[in-house]
Amino acid sequence: MNNSIVRITPTTLASKRTRDRVKQHGPEFLVKNEAFDVFGFMGVKCVLIHSMKDDWFGWIPENEIDID
């Protein structure tokens, strides 16, 4: 999935942070990387995404988003 452009929506159980990031910078993102144990998200698989709308990028827990 790396270097793929995807449409992301937050799940119903997503944190406020995830919901806000998708709302502010999405819904289309470039997936740059996937990893476990990203700082601040220990034990959770995360995706590093880069907004197609602006210059924002950051790690989002994979279990908090739906990727189309």
What is the full DSSP assignment across 4-44? EEEEEEE-TT--HHHHHHHHHH-SEEEEEEEEEEETTEEEE
pLDDT of 2 reads 81
At 4, the pLDDT band (50, 70, 90 cuts) reads very high
Reported as a single tens digit per residue, the pLDDT across 24-51 is: 999 999 999 999 988 888 889 999 999 9
Cα(33)–Cα(12) distance, rounded to whole angstroms? 24
Cα(38)–Cα(57) distance, rounded to whole angstroms? 14
